[in-house]
Amino acid sequence: MTKKKINDKFNDVMGVDPVEDEDDKKKKKDDDEAKALDIELWERKALHDWRARGRVYRSFVSETIDADEHEAISAALKAAQTVAEVKAAFRRNAVDTLLDSVDSDARAWAEDATSE
């Protein structure tokens, strides 16, 4: 049985509409792209501010960046003392996500290793 047939069978059994699933994937991709563009724009504005006045002085409004991430970036920008720290404010979420995934994998491995 081919992978497509297996997926189709799974979708039939689970009651998933593949068209709807594709629409959801496209919307998520569009949302992710819009968020990435907003973050890139915000970073450019923050770097411009830093170079012009030695601090980030303008706020940034976005409907695509969730409130928690926006707050974290804003706090990091307020505390930034160097250009590198300004740039790091926009990379923090990616690093945190990576570290969280590595940490969860390591914890799962440790639990498996110690439970035997």
pLDDT beyond 90 at 37: yes
Any domain includes 113: no
Cα 50 to Cα 56: distance, rounded to the nearest angstrom: 5
CA–CA dist 110, 91 (Å, integer): 28
CB 45 within 8 A of CB 63: no
Task: Tell me whether residue 96 is in a domain.
Answer: no
Predicted confidence band at 49 (pLDDT cuts at 50, 70, 90)?
Answer: very high
The confidence score (pLDDT) of residue 52 equals: 94
Q: In this structure, is residue 19 part of a structural domain?
A: yes
Residue 21 lies in a domain: yes
28/69: higher pLDDT: 69
For the segment 52-101, what is each residue's pLDDT rounded down to a tens digit?
999 998 999 999 999 998 998 998 899 888 898 899 889 876 556 555 66
Count of domains observed in the chain: 1
pLDDT band for position 25 (50/70/90)? Answer: confident
Contacts by residues 2-11 (CB-CB < 8 Å, ≥ 24 positions apart): none
Helix (H/G/I), strand (E/B), else coil: 80: coil
Residue 111 lies in a domain: no
Domain span at residue 50 reads: 3-90
Overall average pLDDT of the 20-32 stretch: 75
Indicate whether 15 belongs to any domain.
yes
If pLDDT is split at 50, 70 and 90, which confidence band does 9 have? low
Q: CA-CA distance, 22 to 28, in Å (whole number)?
A: 10
